[in-house]
Amino acid sequence: MAHFPKPSEGSWTEHFEIDTEPVSYADSISPEFYEQERDAIFRRTWLNVGRVEQLPRKGSYFTRELDAAGASVIVVRGTDGEVRAFHNVCRHRGNKLVWDDYPREETKGTCRAFTCKYHAWRYDLEGKLAFVQQESEFFGIDKSEYGLLAVQAEVWEGFVFVNLDPENTTPLREYLGRFAHGIEGYPFHKLTQVHKYRAEIGSNWKLFIDAFAEFYHAPILHSGQYTAGEAAKIKKYGYEALSYDIDGPHSMVSSWGGIAPPKEKAMVKPIERALRSGLFGPWDAPDIGMSTEELPPAINPTRSKVWGMDTFVFFPNFMLLIWRPNWVLTYHYWPTSYNTHIFEGTCYFVPPQNAFQRLQQELAAVSFKEYGLQDGNTLEATQTMLESRTVDAFPLCDQEVLLRHLHSTAQSYVRRHQQRRSETPATAS
Amino acid sequence: MANVFPAEFAELEPFADWAIHGERARYAKRISSTMEELQAFYDVAFPLLEKGTSYLEKVSLDGIGDEDKHLLWAFCSLVTIAFPVEAWGQPRVPDSGPASIDAVVEPAV
């Protein structure tokens, strides 16, 4: 039985003109395809690397290891207050410029200048080479030619993005498109209480996005999280989204969610009743300066009264979840090989005023982790069986439309990139 | 010997080793405990949480004292172990096998 209306075509998938044939998942088990994705996607699109709150003052910096792009970047707030990004490479002999103890681990801090550990070449916060040890030993070196290599960096609603393609000319806001425009004005800057989790996952990066871009699995995989009676009811009901939408490479799903607070308290576990909180967040929504009805237009786009949360998938690897009780969750998927990636999940809450509110948020964050643990291991099981190539045609249902869109988007990025390269005449090198 | 927790929560004193800072450390204690140990802590702590709501709502996080901080952390541990006790019937998340998700940024208190 349909609970929510679908487009006139009869399905979301046909509405978005995506084919309805079984998919092969060949794009998730091939080392060769992954190498093409690195070049076509991760070296060429805007990637979210953090929030402005991680750069609270002049000289604040953090590094990000972008394995899929074969790069490490330094993101720093300059003396003029601007956020910039640089390749983390010393221009003298190529040493990694900023790192502590373990060269492959990310770091953060505050400084007035970046000094290389090797020969003390020093760069200011704007990337200019400021000091060369024993400069007179060099051969007429012009310091202005040896600044750090800049990476394009832009900020959208407090989210810091970088783009490693020096030829990229699409501004961030234009790239993020219609959904980002429609989210602008949401008070992200008020949600500064952060719980961040990290996991090494044994699957292709797209498979974890798949897991979080559909909720068809939720009544089954996560049934143990509900009370027994509630689990049976939810399973029978199944899952239908309020709506789906697609804008270029990006997509979103808008979901109902009656569990914060639940209609009946018997639906939830004792700890949730005691703390008035759970996976959907603390039931007592904090004041963020706007009511649910006043949220920017891309959030709860159907203006449904039973709206619970929206999931935005900003291609390639940034997901933004906005929950009705005024909190936000982000997901990032950083590939490390064709069948491994690092997953990051970050909860953002309004800072709690008292110990009870702090516990309500703890329960929401920990619930996310418990769900994520189930998802994470399922993915490794999926990856190994896809790699067995026993089966190569998988039917996806209409509630899995965003998965079809993600995989076809990745494939078209790779295809277009190959076309561009084949059209460019080869040059002698 | 000085109290670890505020006087109103004296029943928690035998479980002072659950007043742990950080979800990562709390989770590590959860998965190295038996279900009997988790249940014993839950049986004492859960009724105190239900009774303690109005107390906790008066505890401001700004300048929180040591006893209240310990109480908050013990209840954070209760949140962590509520899943095995109320849902899983085992310390680990079912079917999570070798998967792990680690806290890398957490609130100061």
Name the residue of chain A whose CA is nearest to B79's CA. Answer: A363
Of residues A346, A370, A372, nearest to B83 (C-beta): A370
Chain B positions touching A352 (Cβ under 8 A) are 61
Helix, strand counts (H, E) of chain A: 9, 17
Q: For the whole prediction, is pTM greater than 0.90? A: yes
In the block, residue with structure tokens 């704007």:
A126
- d(CA B41, CA B12) in angstroms, rounded, equals 8
User: Each residue of B60-105: pLDDT tens digit?
Assistant: 999 999 999 999 999 999 999 999 999 999 999 988 877 889 999 9
User: Each residue of A88-112: pLDDT tens digit?
Assistant: 999 999 999 999 999 899 999 999 9
Mean pLDDT (whole number) for A142-146: 97
Nearest to A37 by CA among A251, A317, A248: A317
State the pLDDT at residue A421.
Answer: 87
Mean pLDDT (whole number) for A336-362: 97
Check if the beta carbon of residue A374 is closer than 8 Å to that of residue A221.
yes
Inter-chain contact B61–A354, Cβ cutoff 8 Å?
A: yes
Cis peptide bond prior to B107, omega within 30° of 0: no
Which ipTM value was assigned to this complex?
0.98
Mean pLDDT (whole number) for B15-19: 98
State the pLDDT at residue A429.
Answer: 46
Answer whether residue A1 shows pLDDT above 60: no
Q: Which of B81, B101, B109 to mutate to test the interface with A (most CBs of A within 10 A)?
A: B101
> Average model confidence (pLDDT) for chain A?
93
- d(CA A118, CA A139) in angstroms, rounded, equals 20
A15-24, A123-132, A372-381: which range is least confident on average? A372-381
**B36 to chain A, closest Cα gap in Å:** 18
3-state helix vs strand vs coil in chain A, percent to 5: 35, 25, 40
Strands (E), B2-109: 102-105
Share of chain A above pLDDT 70, in %: 97
Mean pLDDT (whole number) for A397-401: 94
For A116, A309, A377, the CA distances from A70, given in Å and listed in that order, are 20, 35, 27
User: Each residue of A281-339: pLDDT tens digit?
Assistant: 999 999 999 999 999 999 999 999 999 999 999 999 999 999 999 999 999 999 999 99
State the pLDDT at residue A258.
Answer: 62
Q: Which of A197, A357, A361, A375 to mutate to test the interface with B (most CBs of B within 10 A)?
A: A197
Answer whether residue A181 shows pLDDT above 50: yes
Chain B positions touching A193 (Cβ under 8 A) are 107
Inter-chain contact B86–A270, Cβ cutoff 8 Å?
A: yes
User: Which residues of B lie closer than 8 Å to A, measured between beta carbons?
Assistant: 23, 46, 49-50, 53, 56-61, 64, 68, 71-72, 75-76, 78-80, 82-83, 86-88, 93-107, 109
A215-219, A385-389, B83-87: which range is least confident on average? A215-219
Mean pLDDT (whole number) for A118-135: 96
- d(CA A56, CA A236) in angstroms, rounded, equals 49
Task: Please tell me which residue, A297 or A280, carries the higher pLDDT value.
Answer: A297
Q: What angle do CA A172, A322, A222 make, to 5 degrees?
A: 125
Inter-chain contact A372–B101, Cβ cutoff 8 Å?
A: yes
Inter-chain contact B61–A355, Cβ cutoff 8 Å?
A: yes
End-to-end CA distance of chain A: 63
**B14 to chain A, closest Cα gap in Å:** 21
Is residue B1 classed as helix, strand or coil in its secondary structure? Answer: coil
Chain A positions touching B59 (Cβ under 8 A) are 354-356
Q: Which amino acid is at B107?
A: P
Of residues A351, A363, A377, nearest to B79 (C-beta): A363
Mean pLDDT (whole number) for B35-57: 98
Mean pLDDT (whole number) for B8-32: 97
- d(CA B106, CA B109) in angstroms, rounded, equals 8
Inter-chain contact B53–A274, Cβ cutoff 8 Å?
A: yes
Task: Please tell me which residue, A233 or A400, carries the higher pLDDT value.
Answer: A400
